[in-house]
Amino acid sequence: MKKIVGLFIIAAFVGLSVLAFTPAPSYALPNFAKKHEASCTLCHTVWPALNRFGEQYFMNGFQMPDTEDGGDVGKIKPDEHVALDSGGANPPLSVRMVIETTLSTTAANDVELIQPNKAEALFFAGGTLGKNLSYFIDNIAAGGIPANLPEQMWVGIHNVGGAGTANIRYGVINMADFDARPNHRHDLGNGYSHTAASDASTDAVGLQVYGRPGGGALTYQVSLDNRGSGAGAARLGSNTLNPGLLLRGDFGATAVSFHYAGMSDKASFASGAVETKTTSNLISARHVASDFEASLGYGIMSLDVGGAKTDTTGMTLEGIYFTEGYDVQLQFGTNSVKVGGVTTDISQISLKADYHATTNSKMFVKYVGDSSSTVKDGYMSIGTDWAF
């Protein structure tokens, strides 16, 4: 009887989703696409992942690549010194909603069940305040650590010293935005490479300077943040400034990058305080073709807490085949943690298929399975994903 009820729920879900997302002549596109009167595919392969054009648009402070159009395009000017987004781009707010239902879960006790496991709304606001001035606020509803802080919140100044020479961002910043395989923007998760090299992939309060001088193949990034150690410490801060360096090269459809980040934190200034030191190195590569993309990330982190050392390595390999109507995503990752001569290994494989009901909505089926030395588990789910 339970299986019959489960099949009925699945059939009803699929039927309602198809009715709700039947393609229409006009699509509700997020605010950047509205502002430039362009399709989402101008900047995305499979949203939210960016293509090369989208990366350059983002790097340039939400201005068309190699331009400084933030004060004019998609704007109205009620005053000489005030420029506001116009038409469908006003207000500059976008929403992404994900509803996901677990079909089956296999864990150590081999329990099968049907239950909802995710319903979230992600809000972000961003755009240009004027020529070469940008802002971004992400995940307002979900907050952060500590509570009530957004995942990201920053302001940017762009094209200092000439086109692409230097850009400055300050606030709560994703430090791995510009890696060849960036942090965030992955339907199947960031992967173990970012988990291992967490210093390079954190959303920390800091200052970042980056550039693509002359619009060439080289992108650089230097950063300082006050990220600390322990739960939530990316926001709580430490008593030191932590450095970061990113070098990236783009060669046609292929990008490669190297990202270094370090952290030093002392529990307190009192005598005998334990000092925590970490270094992270993250190597990434990504190739984007007209209907396929492949990416690789390899992360290494060394942690020293008062002389007790932990070494972590992580690898992520991902491939995505996409068309206008559907996409298929496959990700494989491994993670190895060595503490005091004892090594724990974990691997994970994820598979996801999306049907693009409209430009800005997807229905999906997903499978995730992972294993360690003690537990092997996984789950299968279906869901919908909207952006507007």
User: Does the pLDDT value for residue 7 go beyond 80?
Assistant: no
Evaluate whether 286 touches 54 at the Cβ level (below 8 Å). no
Q: What is the pLDDT of residue 250?
A: 96
Alpha-carbon span 380 to 193, nearest angstrom: 23
Q: What is the pLDDT of residue 60?
A: 93
Tell me if the bond preceding 23 is cis, omega within 30° of 0.
no
Helix (H) or strand (E) holding 56: helix 52-59
Tracing tokens 């307002």 back to the chain, one arrives at: 140
Alpha-carbon span 347 to 373, nearest angstrom: 10
Question: Encoding tokens for residue 261?
Answer: 């980040």
- 343-357 tens-digit pLDDT: 888 888 999 999 998
Other CB atoms closer than 10 Å to residue 303's CB: what's the count? 20
Q: What is the pLDDT of residue 365?
A: 94
Identify the weakest region by mean pLDDT among 27-31, 272-276, 379-383: 27-31
- 25-81 tens-digit pLDDT: 333 347 787 777 788 888 899 988 999 999 999 999 988 888 887 767 777 776 666
Alpha-carbon span 144 to 150, nearest angstrom: 5
Structural domains of the chain, with CATH? 2-387 (2.40.160.10)
Tracing tokens 């089956």 back to the chain, one arrives at: 104
Query: Measured on CA atoms in the order 203, 98, 288, 136, is the torsion positive or negative?
Result: negative
Residue 222 CB contacts under 8 Å (≥ 6 apart), including other chains: 208, 209, 210, 243, 244, 245, 246
Burial of residue 65 (CB within 10 Å: 0-12, 13-18, 19+) is middle
Tracing tokens 């116009």 back to the chain, one arrives at: 86
User: Does the pLDDT value for residue 179 go beyond 70?
Assistant: yes
Q: What's the chain's average pLDDT?
A: 79
Tracing tokens 């929403």 back to the chain, one arrives at: 95
Percent of the chain with pLDDT over 90: 35
Identify the weakest region by mean pLDDT among 10-14, 242-246, 305-309: 10-14
**Confidence band of 270 (pLDDT split at 50, 70, 90):** very low
Other CB atoms closer than 10 Å to residue 18's CB: what's the count? 12
Evaluate whether 317 touches 332 at the Cβ level (below 8 Å). yes
> 99-129: buried (b, 16+ CB within 10 Å) or exposed (e) per residue?
bbbbbebeeeeeeeebeeeeeeebbbbbbbb
Tell me if the bond preceding 146 is cis, omega within 30° of 0.
yes
**Confidence band of 360 (pLDDT split at 50, 70, 90):** confident
Evaluate whether 178 touches 282 at the Cβ level (below 8 Å). no
DSSP alpha helix (H) spans, 211-349: 233-236
Identify the weakest region by mean pLDDT among 48-57, 146-155, 162-171: 146-155
Instruction: Tell me the whole-structure pTM to 2 decimals.
Output: 0.83
Identify the weakest region by mean pLDDT among 151-165, 224-238, 328-342, 367-381: 224-238
SS3 call for 215: helix
**Confidence band of 197 (pLDDT split at 50, 70, 90):** confident
